[in-house]
């Protein structure tokens, strides 16, 4: 037998639920349950089409959205002179190296992921080192993938309201689990959004980021608070690297002071979890690996490198991609050049700062498209 409640009781119940969500903003709501709590946040769902549901509950959330439509956090300024100071070019196909334009062959670049610092060009040739030249047709564009992304300072710690970055250009849905409405404007990648409520549809979380704007969890990277783990001394600086969300948060003792997106190791080259300490720092360093294999890689002048484990994994800037928020490295923690410079300078007074690598969730297939 279906339980029948008075309109007054349901209205009070929904208002109490609203307060609970504001106090515990990351607590999931079951979007497919069809109860009064759910309908307070999703009145457009078919199962919510009932005269007992009032707009007052949604208006309270919309008032919060109007006051705080997006995170009010200062973004690190991007210095184009810094991020474009080196003319990096990818070697896009195997090619020979010559001692001069049309000169003698002195070596070769094999197949792999290889970058060079490009010098002057002469008649279709580019200088890539002292007495080292390659044909320009073998090289990609200058600084093709340098990222202008940067993270945010947290002057007052993490906000009460959870926030995230969009990882893909996304058309939001009017209700959790629904397809986007045709013609809905896209929210662009790297846009910062507040999360006002959470609903669960078929085990996947959907986030309310604006009026009638729901997005799937896999389309955002959410910054999550974290207590200082065992093994990190009180009062010390440390980095929390969430491999599930692909975020980094810098902590000064127990206070978060900075947050950003990262790109960690691919499954084949996973970033090692646990508490680590930085043991070596370089403003620029050459990185290479898998010599003689198809996956050979060679990256000169990698900026702001801080090694933190014996597997030669490091925090560092990346000039070769703009794919932050996704796994794509050989095990290191990639950051934008802007972010890498900030964290490098931030720990100058504590060069052996801690790095805590962890998963806040479990990767799984089958997310709705």
Q: Which residues pair with 126 in a beta bridge?
A: 121, 134
What distance in Å separates the CA atoms of residue 101 and residue 133, rounded to the nearest whole number? 6
Closest CA to 264 of 141, 360, 169, 189: 360
The one catalytic residue in 8, 98, 316, 359 is 316
CA-to-CA separations, 270 to 168, 291, 301, 312, 344, in angstroms, rounded: 23, 19, 23, 12, 23
Give catalytic status of residue 332 as yes or no.
Answer: yes
Closest CA to 354 of 187, 240, 194: 240
Strands 213-216 and 220-222, by their bridges, are: unpaired
Q: Is 212 exposed, middle or buried (0-12, 13-18, 19+ CB in 10 A)?
A: middle
Reduce the secondary structure of 320-350 to three states and give it as a string. CCCCCCCCCECCCEEECHHHHHHHHHHCCCC
The one catalytic residue in 39, 48, 276, 332 is 332
- Return the sign of the alpha-carbon dihedral for residues 289, 295, 300, 303: negative
Give catalytic status of residue 359 as yes or no.
Answer: no
Residue 244 neighbours by CB under 8 Å, 6+ apart:
359, 360, 361, 362, 363
CA-to-CA separations, 349 to 139, 307, 353, in angstroms, rounded: 40, 16, 9
Q: Which of the residues are catalytic?
A: 316, 332
């Amino acid at each position: 037998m279906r339980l029948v409640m008075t309109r007054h009781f349901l209205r009070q119940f929904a208002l109490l639920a609203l307060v609970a969500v504001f106090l515990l903003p990351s607590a999931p709501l079951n979007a497919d349950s069809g109860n009064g709590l759910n309908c307070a946040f999703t009145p457009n769902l078919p199962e919510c089409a009932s005269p007992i549901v009032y707009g007052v509950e949604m208006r309270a959330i919309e008032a919060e959205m109007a006051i705080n439509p997006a995170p009010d956090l200062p973004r690190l300024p991007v210095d184009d002179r810094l991020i474009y100071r080196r003319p990096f070019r990818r070697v896009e196909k195997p090619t020979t190296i010559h001692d001069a334009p049309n000169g003698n062959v002195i070596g070769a670049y094999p197949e792999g992921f290889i970058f060079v610092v490009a010098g002057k060009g002469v008649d279709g040739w580019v200088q890539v080192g002292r007495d080292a030249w390659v044909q320009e047709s073998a090289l990609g564009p200058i600084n093709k993938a340098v990222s202008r992304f940067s993270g945010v300072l947290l002057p007052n710690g993490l906000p009460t309201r959870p926030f995230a970055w969009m990882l893909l250009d996304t058309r939001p849905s009017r209700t959790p689990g629904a397809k986007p409405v045709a013609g809905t404007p896209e929210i662009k990648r790297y846009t910062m959004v507040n999360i006002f409520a959470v609903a669960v549809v078929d085990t996947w979380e959907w986030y309310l980021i604006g009026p009638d704007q729901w997005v799937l969890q896999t389309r955002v990277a959410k910054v999550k608070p974290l207590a200082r783990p065992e093994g990190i001394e009180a009062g010390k600086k440390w980095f929390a690297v969430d491999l599930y969300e692909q975020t980094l948060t810098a902590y000064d003792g127990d206070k978060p002071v900075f947050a950003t997106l990262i790109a960690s190791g691919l499954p084949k080259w996973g970033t090692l979890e646990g508490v680590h300490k930085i043991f070596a720092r370089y403003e620029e360093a050459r990185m290479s690996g898998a010599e003689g294999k198809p996956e050979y890689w060679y990256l000169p002048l990698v900026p702001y490198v801080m090694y933190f484990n014996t597997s030669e994994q490091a925090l560092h800037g990346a000039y070769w991609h703009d794919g932050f928020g996704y796994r794509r490295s050989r095990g290191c923690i990639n950051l934008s050049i802007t972010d890498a410079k900030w964290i490098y300078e931030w720990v100058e007074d504590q060069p052996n700062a801690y790095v805590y690598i962890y998963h806040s969730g479990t990767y799984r297939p089958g997310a709705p498209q």
